[in-house]
Amino acid sequence: MRVVIFGACGTIGKAVAAELAPRHDLIRVGRSSGDYRADMTDLPRVRALLQELGNVDALVCAAGSVHFGPLAQMTPELLEVGLKDKLMGQVNLVLAAQDLLNDNGSITLTSGILSRDPIRFGSSASMVNGAIDSFIRAAAIELPRGLRVNAVSPTVIEDSMELYGTFFRGYEPVSARRAALAYSKSVEGAQTGQVYRVE
Ligand SMILES: NC(=O)c1ccc[n+]([C@@H]2O[C@H](COP(=O)([O-])OP(=O)(O)OC[C@H]3O[C@@H](n4cnc5c(N)ncnc54)[C@H](OP(=O)(O)O)[C@@H]3O)[C@@H](O)[C@H]2O)c1
């Protein structure tokens, strides 16, 4: 299959690429990394890229930023970071992919554990992750041409513990390699409308 991976050079994306590379042709995309440059918050650019590439069977996203901070200091502008980047960026991928992926293709987005197991300072992440999980369930029942969509919802990743460890006391991290298996299930399996919890 030809698989486009947004965020393929990141912590999770690298492991997803390593899992899929032996069996598929990968196209790695980032804003400033990978084979092609595109910002998923820019829907016309995402459409243009998929058109330019053509013949894409699977679109995977392992990207998306949110603001972490206390609720007492949260502002609409800070919430907008996650809404624009992690949520609407990934929704944009679905909007573009529904017209441009090959028949029976798949889309795999990334949410995260905070939708169901919140931490202090994570209200924006919880909101966005919950929205992604709900969106894919609904999109799955409307997608045409046998297209599928799933989300992978991992707990904190071992390699990110140095960065996020203090926020995630008591959480058992998983390896990026294990999280990558859920992306493989989504791309290479037959299910749709699923949220794959990796924890
Ligand atoms: N790491 C964890 O513990 C963990 C746990 C649960 C969920 N998640 C979620 O998993 C996703 C990936 O996390 P990560 O830790 O692997 O992130 P990361 O290491 O920061 O990597 C993110 C990658 O995505 C690309 N990217 C970021 N924003 C983009 C955009 N708007 N358009 C296109 N590419 C973009 C970046 O490359 P460029 O800079 O070149 O664009 C980078 O390669 C995020 O949604 C995160 O919330 C992470």
Nearest protein Cα to ligand 1, atom 18: 10
Nearest protein Cα to ligand 1, atom 24: 7
At residue 115, the pLDDT reads 98
Q: Is 41 in the pocket of ligand 1 (CB under 6 A)?
A: yes
The residue among 15, 34, 41, 35 whose CA lies nearest residue 157 is 15
pLDDT digits (tens, 9 = 90+) for 144-159: 999 999 999 999 999 9
Contact 176, 19 (CB under 8 A): no
CA of 94 to the centre of ligand 1 (A): 17
pTM of the model: 0.98
pLDDT digits (tens, 9 = 90+) for 58-91: 999 999 999 999 999 999 999 999 999 999 999 9
CA of 52 to the centre of ligand 1 (A): 23
Contact 50, 29 (CB under 8 A): no
User: Residue 181 burial (CB < 10 Å; 0-12/13-18/19+)?
Assistant: middle
